[in-house]
Structure 1
Amino acid sequence: MTIDLVTAPDSRGVTALRKWSHNPSGFLALNQGNKQFQVPDIDGAIFYREVGRYLIQLGGPFTESTAKPALLQAFVAFAENRKKHLAAMQLLPDDAPVYAAGGYHVNQFGSSYAVDLNGYTLGGKKFVKLRNKISRAIRAGLEIREVKHSEVQDDIDEIDRRWLRLKGRFAREMEFMVGEVGGEVQDLRRLFVGTIGGEVVGYVSYSPVYGAQSGWLHDLSRRVELAPPGAMEAINWHAVKQFSEEGCGFLHFGLTPFTGMSADTFDTRNRTLAFLLAKLYDHGSRIYPAETQLQYKLKWNPALVIPDYLAYRGRLTPGKISGLLRAINMI
């Protein structure tokens, strides 16, 4: 009999990611509040979060390719035993067929973007505006450095509070699309801050990316109203130069929902959901600022655009759509 093991992500979760993950957003699986599912006879794990009636998985099964169907099947049985709905977010193109074959409906949800840091520069006409923004922030007195979270924890907490106030009383942090600062795996992340007159006015947190396109994920980034225009670009450029000097391969910008939507989709897709997701880029700014995010990422001239997929099991009713969107804090 197979025994299902469910635990909080710990050192075993890090081991599974390092060994099997090539998902640019894979490290987000270790966010606090997530759980990891394992079976004794398979080397690897599935990471998920329980939200109401849903088990929402992040990324595909983190295991060798031949074991993915079996690990997914075990997870489906686990969920059915608990009478839970199943969905999976941020699936890569090589994971999506496993879900389609496993009885999931699979729809593209957006795209992830990455910059190849091999020989990367901001030279040339296409980067004029970006260089000017960075220069403006530096002239305004912005100073940038890499720090340990413990050195600036109070400053980061205050920036987060002020950032949420600026976003409004109904602001939500979307689950499964952003990481976090702090927690048990903070020592594996990188944190860069920008200061004006010694006061921290913005930060960017980077999470490790494993696999063939290894590097860093430009993850959580926030600023306060005192930060000069171009502050976030300047912080990122400082980090890019440091990563490049260290021989880093790629800087990933992660998933932007509703962007890069392709007609090349799976037979198991839901056509109504595909239509809805395509329209949300143009008309869904109140739900998620996809266009603003995309413009920030495109200004760095990404070399890679990777489709991201959403998968779910069962009949997709209007109630299930709204329930899923609520579960990931989109509404």
Structure 2
Amino acid sequence: MQMPDSLRPEPRASIVAALERHADNPSAFLALNRGNKYFSCDDLDGFVCYQVQGRRWIQLGGPFADPACREELESRFLAHAHEHGCKVIGAQLQRADAELLAALGLTVNQVGASYAVRLADFTLRGKRFVRLRNKISRAVRSGLEISEVDPDKCADEINSINERWLRDKGKHTKELSFLIGEMGGEWQALRKLYVGKIEGTAIAYVSYVPVYGSRPGWLHDLSRRLPDSPPGVMEAINARAIEDMRALEIPWLHFGFTPFTSLDSKYELPAASRTAARMVRFVADHGDRVYPAKSQLEYKSKWYPDAVLPEYFAFDGGMSFRSLWSVAKATNII
């Protein structure tokens, strides 16, 4: 996915170029979020993305680097953190990343999965999509009009949706961060934004970001709707985006990471902590107040994903309450 030079402002142009060459994580584009830090070495092709939470450095994905130097780059990053008296926590690791960090001595556990739909043969026809088609039809009958838009031309409407969406979640709810995308900033031109309107008023939107690597395409990222929106609005917007992507022969649509879902012992590594696995399973069974994993999975399952990709977290020095607290702070869960 080539970009014009005008979209490559320094110093982060090299970060985008490295993602294009080496990223195989559906959420890799989140490395461009504001506030992230980058570790790189002049003699190695690639970088590590992370955020600082006290004495914990939260790493997004594995090293986005040439396969020949991934281990060396990660080893230097770990050493750099240790020199500063800090430990590393790896978040949203793909299987290859998890195996790498486990080999370097970190405790690695599956924490959830990401989901993807192959678009080449995708169709909403057939019995299994009857309920989804009905929801979409209901939204369309309500007068819903969907279009891909320039976010600069509807910023006020998007902000209004965000404010009402967050207010409806409760006064103690905060916007999640780090492990989800954002809007605006220098890389907005690389995203897609679809907005749904009724009688000229914007009621919902979905933002998509590029995905590189072995399953290239787009990631269904931020999505918001007004609390009183008719049922099926989000599904209708996504269905329209899929139509456009298929017309452009985009191979994959990704639905991103959902924690505490698709947990299976067959995905665990030998370096997994049994205690951590029990904790994750407990939250998956009882922690809907902590994170709405079930409702997220329900939405993603409607599209019958072709790929379920286990994702992992890694803990330098083992899992601890302090490390879990750092992850919660970095992602704004608390």
What TM-score results when the alignment is normalised by the length of structure 1?
0.95
How many Å separate the matches in 1 of 2:209 and 2:106? 29
Choose which of 130, 136, 152 in structure 1 pairs with 2:154: 152
The corresponding residue for 1:299 is 302
TM-superposed CA distance for 1:226, in Å, is: 3.6
Q: 2:87 pairs with 85, 88, 101, which one?
A: 85
Superposed, 1:129-144 pairs within 5 Å as 129-144=131-146
Cα distance in 2 between the residues matched to 1:246 and 1:57: 33
Separation of aligned partners in 1, 2:98 and 2:241: 32
Residue 274 of structure 1 aligns to which amino acid in structure 2?
A: A
Contact 1:111 1:308 in 2 (8 A): yes
Structure-1 residue corresponding to 2:247? 245
Within 5 Å, give how 1:149-298 maps onto structure 2.
Answer: 149-264=151-266, 265-298=268-301
**What number of residue pairs does the alignment pair up?**
324
RMSD of aligned Cα (Å): 1.3
Partner of 1:325: 328
Contact 1:89 1:176 in 2 (8 A): no
Q: Secondary structure at the match of 1:255?
A: strand
Ranges in structure 1 where 5+ consecutive residues have no aligned partner: 1-7
Summarize the Cα distance change of 1:256–1:136 in structure 2 as closer, same or farther, 3 Å threshold: same
- Deviation, 1:11, is 1.1
Cα distance in 1 for residues equivalent to 2:110 and 2:178: 16
Which deviations, in whole Å up to 9, do the C-alpha atoms of 1:8-56 show, x marking residues without a partner?
Answer: 9721111010000011011011111111111000011111111222211
Deviation per residue, 1:223-252 (Å, 9 max, x gap)? 012421100000000000000000000000
How big is each residue's C-alpha offset from its partner over 1:209-268, in whole Å with a ceiling of 9 and x where there is no partner?
A: 001210000000000124211000000000000000000000000011011112121122
Q: Residue in 2 aligned with 1:3?
A: none
Runs of 4+ in 1 over 4 A off after TM superposition: none
> Which residue of structure 1 aligns with residue 6 of structure 2?
none
Distance 1:226 1:18, change over 3 A: same
Partner of 2:143, secondary structure, is coil
Q: Tell me whether 229-238 or 173-182 shows the greater mean CA deviation.
A: 173-182
Corresponding residue for 1:65? 67
Distance 1:213 1:194 in 2: 28
Deviation at 1:306, TM superposition (A): 0.3
2:235 alignment partner, SS class: helix
Cα distance, 1:169 vs structure 2? 1.2
Cα distance in structure 2, aligned partners of 1:162 and 1:55: 33
The percentage of aligned residue pairs carrying the same residue is: 47
Unaligned 5+ residue runs, structure 2?
Answer: 1-9
**Inter-partner Cα distance in structure 1 for 2:109 and 2:176:** 19
Question: Does structure 2 conserve the Cα–Cα contact (< 8 Å) formed by 1:9 and 1:36?
Answer: no
Amino acid corresponding to residue 68 of structure 2 in structure 1 = T
Pick from 32, 37, 40: which aligns with 2:39?
37
- Paired residue for 1:5? none
Matches within 5 A, 1:300-315: 300-315=303-318
